Structure formats: C-alpha cells, structure tokens
C-alpha cells in the first residue's frame, strides 16, 4: 500500500469515527448544555493520551517540547467546539454535519494560500463532485436555507484552521501528543468560559460510561486516524475526504434511531 492510499484509508476511517460524535452529542445534549458537555467530552481523551505517553516513558519530554504547539491547537479547537456543540444543539446533528463540511472549501483555500499546496484538475473535480453529492444527500424538507447558520459556518472555519495547524505541528509532535494537548487546552479554555458566562451542568452518573466510550471513539481514535493521515496526504485532500461525514451520520441515524 503506497503512502497516498494509506492516507486515503486513514482519512476515511477518521470520517467514520469522528462523525459518530454528531449523533452522540445530540443525544447527550438532552441532559446538559453545550459548553458543559464539551468539557466532559474532551477529558477522556486527555487521560488516554497521558496514559499512552506515560506508558511510552516520554511524558515529560513530550510535554516540555510541544506544549506551545498544543496551546495553539487547543485554542483553535476551543472556538471550533463552542460553535460546533451549539450548532448541533440548535439545528441538529444531520444539518450541522452537512454545513460544517464547508470546512472543505476553507481547508483548500487556507492550504493553498499558506501551505502552498496544489491540486490538479482530477483532484479538484473529485472534491467538487463530493461536495455536490453531499448537498444532494443532505438536502431535505426545505432546510437548505439554513446553510446560512452562523454558528455552523464559524465551526467549519475553525475546524479547517485546526486542520491547517495540525498539518504543520504533526511534523514535530506525535498524533497522541497532539490529541492530549489539543483536548487539554480546549477543555481548559471551555472550563474558564463556563465559569465566566455559563452554569456547569454535569450529566447523570449512569451516562458517564457511554459518554467516555463515545468520546474516545470520535475524539481520540477518530482524530488519531486524522492526524496520521496528514503524514501521507496534504491538508486540503484530507479535508476533502471529510465530506464523507454526513454519509456516515445518516447511516448512524438510520441504524440507531430508524429515522
């Protein structure tokens, strides 16, 4: 398997795992507010990343060498999380999954402008076809006008910016270290935000095991695959493959809720 094929395979796995969060988060938001859930959602991945780093006996070295990059990544993802969780709360998992795929457009523009990445005609045509397919699949009940939802658009831009930063940082830090730092600082900023402007509302104890499992699936395993794919593919191409997210979301909704 060549590097390009590895990158595509990892990016598709990432889309399958990360997109499960849309449906999971929509369920857990029945019991808490978006900001409180965001804090709880990222903590299991921080613990997992620390455990793996400690097991590798490189925890202090990794923390000392890469905390600044992690701070930047966490700050960007803090904004992405705020907008994304609120968007799901307002307009639902499926529509948020569709609108935030505009990150593809933002990711391509940012990668071309700042990383000097290039796309040939075949790749550009493939991205355009994928976007058109997502629009066709996601369009229903006249909700297309909601494409203008500000929170989802801001989330898609922040996600694309995070992808660009990750492409640069992954050359220096391991994916596990990036995950730990990103979610630690994102959770830290979220906690400060909740203390300043919101009321922290924890979910019931009976939901904690499911929350931990689903958090690890999407925010640890999914993003681990995503960061690994960035070692083999350009950020624009990885971002383009995230167009599969709405397809997986529809599958999860159909299987879990028969809707």
Cα angle vertex 240, ends 234, 244, to 5°?
135
**Residue-by-residue pLDDT tens, the chain, 259 positions:** 788 899 999 999 999 999 999 889 888 999 998 989 999 998 998 888 888 877 766 666 777 777 888 899 899 989 999 898 888 888 777 778 777 777 777 887 788 788 787 777 877 777 777 667 656 655 555 544 454 467 888 888 898 898 888 888 887 888 888 888 888 899 999 999 988 888 888 888 899 999 999 999 999 999 999 999 988 988 878 877 877 887 888 888 888 777 6
pTM for the predicted model, two decimal places: 0.78
Tell how far CA 155 is from the center of its chain.
10
Helix (H) or strand (E) holding 192: helix 175-197
Q: What pLDDT is stored for residue 57 in this prediction?
A: 63
Burial class (CB in 10 A: 0-12, 13-18, 19+), 199: exposed
Q: Which of 225, 257, 239 is nearest to 16 (CA)?
A: 225
Left, alpha or beta for 117 (phi > 0: left; psi -120 to 50: alpha)? beta
Spatial separation of the C-alpha atoms in residues 124 and 120, rounded to whole Å: 6
Length of the chain: 259
Q: What pLDDT is stored for residue 175 in this prediction?
A: 85
């Amino acid at each position: 398997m060549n590097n390009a094929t590895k990158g595509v395979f990892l990016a598709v796995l990432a889309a399958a795992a990360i997109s499960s969060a849309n449906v999971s988060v929509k369920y857990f938001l029945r019991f808490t507010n978006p900001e409180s859930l965001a804090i709880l959602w990222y903590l299991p991945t921080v613990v997992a990343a620390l455990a793996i780093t400690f097991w590798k006996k490189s925890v202090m070295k990794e923390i000392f060498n890469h905390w600044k990059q992690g701070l930047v990544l966490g700050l960007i993802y803090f904004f992405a999380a705020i907008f994304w969780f609120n968007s799901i709360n307002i307009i639902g998992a499926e529509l948020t999954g569709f609108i935030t795929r505009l990150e593809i457009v933002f990711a391509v523009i940012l990668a071309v402008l700042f990383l000097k990445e290039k796309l040939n005609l075949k790749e550009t045509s493939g991205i355009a076809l994928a976007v058109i397919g997502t629009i066709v699949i996601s369009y229903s009940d006249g909700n297309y006008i909601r494409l203008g939802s500000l929170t989802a658009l801001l989330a898609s831009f922040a996600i694309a910016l995070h992808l660009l930063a990750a492409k640069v940082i992954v050359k220096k830090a391991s994916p596990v270290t990036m995950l730990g730092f990103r979610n630690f600082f994102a959770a830290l900023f979220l906690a400060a935000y909740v203390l300043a402007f919101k009321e922290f509302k924890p979910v019931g104890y009976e939901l904690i095991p499911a929350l931990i499992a689903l958090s690890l699936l999407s925010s640890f395993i999914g993003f681990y695959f995503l960061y690994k794919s960035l070692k083999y593919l350009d950020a624009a191409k990885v971002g383009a493959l995230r167009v599969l997210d709405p397809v997986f979301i529809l599958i999860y909704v159909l299987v879990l809720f028969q809707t």
